[in-house]
Structure 1
Amino acid sequence: MTSSQIPHRFAPTALMLGNIVTGCSVMAPAGMLPELASGFGIGVHTAGLLITFGAVLLCICSPLSAWLTSRFDRRLLLTATLLVLTLGNLASAFAPDYASLLTVRLLMLAVGALYTPQAAGMAALISPVDKRGSTMAYVFLGWSLAAAVGLPLITFIASHSGWWAAYLAVGAAGAVSFGLLTWRLPSGLKGAPVDLKTWTELGRNRMVLLLLLVTTLQMSGQFVIFTFMGPLLNKLTGADANQIGLVFAIYGACGFLGVVIATRIVDGWGAYRASLLFTCLLFAGITVWTAGAGVYSMMAVAVAIWGLGFASANSMQQVRLVAAAPPLASASVSLNTSVLYIGQAIGSAIGGGLFARDLLGATGYVAVAFVMLALLAILASRPRAPVAALA
């Protein structure tokens, strides 16, 4: 490694902050569906398609971009992606109609699909092998903070100043993150080239396929509810914008706590046991949400339990994928990001269909079924022989 490739201090923090902006860019509509629907004169279900269509595009572009850009400098890729996300959010604030907003969002996310898998690959490159799990979990802390801080702020700003102001705020955060990445990331780092042989090898790896299935099921179950969490709370409990923002804050704060716990236990426990723990928390939280539907306090407690698992479970998936096929980590992480967005698309589409038909209570039962299947898939992925701690 040359002097230009020596990792700068706080590089993992710069990567984590980029994930905050990426997470806010992806999840922002979930925090302001009523304002978007009212502002453009459309239904809440139609506004929710911003998430569904965005997720479909992300799932396609994530592995495609990993293939097309595998030989590029990681620093250049990550900073360019943050610049596009910044400009996309700023442009969204001035969208004159729903069609324009959707178009800008799809263009923005087509490039934004690069960030999360490339950030994971960069984290793996700049961290010692024995600290790779905790470093990657720390980088993915950005998604927890996007939910803990970003979504409540988006909900607050949108309800008090308008949806356009929320987009401006995310764009401003993107500009700051772009500057930090440019300043702190080392240059000259590249991952292993991704070609057709890479995808073929991944397709023959039973563990990789099982882990991708786990991610799909986990995300499908969560996004049946999460996409419409605000409107569901309003319809089922009469919660106002501030109460909904509080629930988003609880969700994200507990997600933050969960990732902190994950970073401390994964190197000792191993990612399999940690993954099982956090998916059990997902299952418990969504089960309590379903049982307590209509009671605000019960649903808030459910979100706290669920929140402990949501980001940590995905972080453990990333760590397990890297350990399952280290030479193919860049491609497997991008595939995991892809199926993560497939899960979002499946879940939000099912949730939107149920919401449009006023089958609000059914959303919880469908979510529980998906996460139960995810638990069974994790059990099937249990390592068959002693392996390294990260397996």
Structure 2
Amino acid sequence: MKNLPPESPVHRRFAPTALMFGNLVTGCSILAPAGMLIELASDLHITVHTAGLLVTFGAIVLCIGSPLTAWLTSRIERRALLTATLAVLVLGNAASAFAPNYAALLVIRLIMLAVGALYTPQAAGTAALIVPVEKRGGTIAYVFLGWSLAAAVGLPLITFLTSRYGWRAAYGGISVIGMLSYALLLWRLPRGLVGALVDLKTWADLGRNRVIVVLLGITTLLMSGQFAVFTYMGPVLSRLTQLGPDAVGLVFAIYGVCGFLGIIAVSNIVDSWGPLRTSVLCISLVLSGVAGWALSAGVYPLMAVSAAIWGLGFASSNSMQQVRLVAAAPPLASASVALNTSFLYVGQAIGSGIGGALYAHELIYGIGYAGAAFVALALFTVILTRNLSVAKS
């Protein structure tokens, strides 16, 4: 494993930022359909549930692709790998803007995400290579800030653009942002970064690590609960409150801005609080927000406040999972973070599938309660991990 020398100004100031903006593009690419479900359904003459399958099927490809591509590409230098991944995301979003029908859009999305599955776990693993051990927690949380920006800025802009100029314009916008991120990463990420080789023994070692197995289960539960609600947040808000796309976009913006603030706060406290205490705080916020959403369904101001509370813990809880995995087995960090990302997408697939089934059967009020049940179980499991060695890391 090759690290940058600690005195290098590149990794201190610019490389983590370049990695973070790549996560912004990845997050927008993955979350985009959630901000345009109604418009996609109307323009492509499909149901909202069918449009939501872009999220579900995409998550299935992502959960398979993340560990598979980590294995296949572990010998590739990180700068070359990450810039190539961003290039595919740029081209995939551009092609999506010109998709003639739903089938073509789905195929383009699946191909794009099969490669895009690489970015988030490899960015986290690369961040661990370019900073001292004592700063890994805060740096990984900072790199994951790109996902918060995707929710805080990207998703509201996608909703805004889609409601006024159509979903094709939104995909085009993501492609343009991707080109800028590609240039920044190519410019600032150092050459010569190579992670630990991932082979079959690596996966066997991960499977024998009880801490890692438990953490992967927490990731699945946490994401299942959130994406049961998040995938259909826009259509549910529209139906229950009878408000238009601007009101829906405002809730997305509140959710995302709070996610941005949450991960900034976590980046500053995790190295002193420790990953376990910080993780409990973050998931408690998620549970409070999702439960509040369920209980206040139909009352717009209360749903917006619940989204704010939920947002504070959304991205930060995910980044804490990555920090705890890196601490559990540092030599296996690239593989464990890739596997965690895979289980994250398993949770997305499960959650969006459950949310879609409930939405299709007009059980709209039940979506929030189903999501809260999964998150509550995730929190309970996290509390149990206090007796595991990773809790003290």
**What does residue 78 of structure 1 align with?**
82
**What does residue 364 of structure 1 align with?**
368
CA offsets per residue over residues 267-315 of structure 1, 9 Å max, x none? 0000000000000000000111111001000100000000000000000
Q: Which blocks of at least 5 consecutive residues in structure 2 are unaligned?
A: none
**What does residue 140 of structure 1 align with?**
144
**What does residue 314 of structure 1 align with?**
318
**What does residue 386 of structure 2 align with?**
382
Aligned-pair distance for 1:386?
A: 9.0
Q: Find 1:50's aligned residue among 27, 49, 54.
A: 54
Structure 2: distance between partners of 1:230 and 1:237? 11
Residue pair 2:3, 2:193 contacting (<8 A) in 1 also = no
Aligned-pair distance for 1:382?
A: 1.2
**What does residue 194 of structure 2 align with?**
190
Residue pair 1:16, 1:138 contacting (<8 A) in 2 also = yes
Q: Find 2:357's aligned residue among 346, 353, 360.
A: 353
**What does residue 296 of structure 1 align with?**
300
Q: TM-score, normalised by structure 2?
A: 0.97
**What does residue 28 of structure 1 align with?**
32
Structure 1: distance between partners of 2:391 and 2:109? 42
Residue pair 1:123, 1:132 contacting (<8 A) in 2 also = yes
Q: Which blocks of at least 5 consecutive residues in structure 1 are unaligned?
A: none
**What does residue 286 of structure 2 align with?**
282
Secondary structure of the structure 1 residue equivalent to 2:198: coil
Secondary structure of the structure 1 residue equivalent to 2:334: helix
Residue pair 1:152, 1:249 contacting (<8 A) in 2 also = yes
Aligned-pair distance for 1:383?
A: 4.0
Residue 21 of structure 2 is aligned to residue 17 of structure 1: yes
Structure 2: distance between partners of 1:246 and 1:64? 37
Q: Structure 1's 295 and 95: CA in aligned 2 closer, same or farther, altered over 3 A?
A: same
CA offsets per residue over residues 72-93 of structure 1, 9 Å max, x none? 0000000000000000000000
Structure 2: distance between partners of 1:329 and 1:18? 19
* Number of corresponding residues: 389
**What does residue 269 of structure 1 align with?**
273
Aligned-pair distance for 1:327?
A: 0.6
**What does residue 227 of structure 1 align with?**
231
Structure 2: distance between partners of 1:377 and 1:75? 36
Q: Percent identity?
A: 65
**What does residue 341 of structure 1 align with?**
345
Structure 2: distance between partners of 1:348 and 1:385? 33
Residue pair 1:254, 1:307 contacting (<8 A) in 2 also = yes
Q: TM-score, normalised by structure 1?
A: 0.97
Aligned-pair distance for 1:387?
A: 6.9
Structure 1: distance between partners of 2:390 and 2:283? 22
Aligned-pair distance for 1:379?
A: 1.2
Q: What amino acid maps onto 2:133 in structure 1?
A: V
Q: Structure 1's 19 and 3: CA in aligned 2 closer, same or farther, altered over 3 A?
A: closer
**What does residue 214 of structure 1 align with?**
218
Structure 2: distance between partners of 1:185 and 1:244? 37
Residue 254 of structure 2 is aligned to residue 250 of structure 1: yes
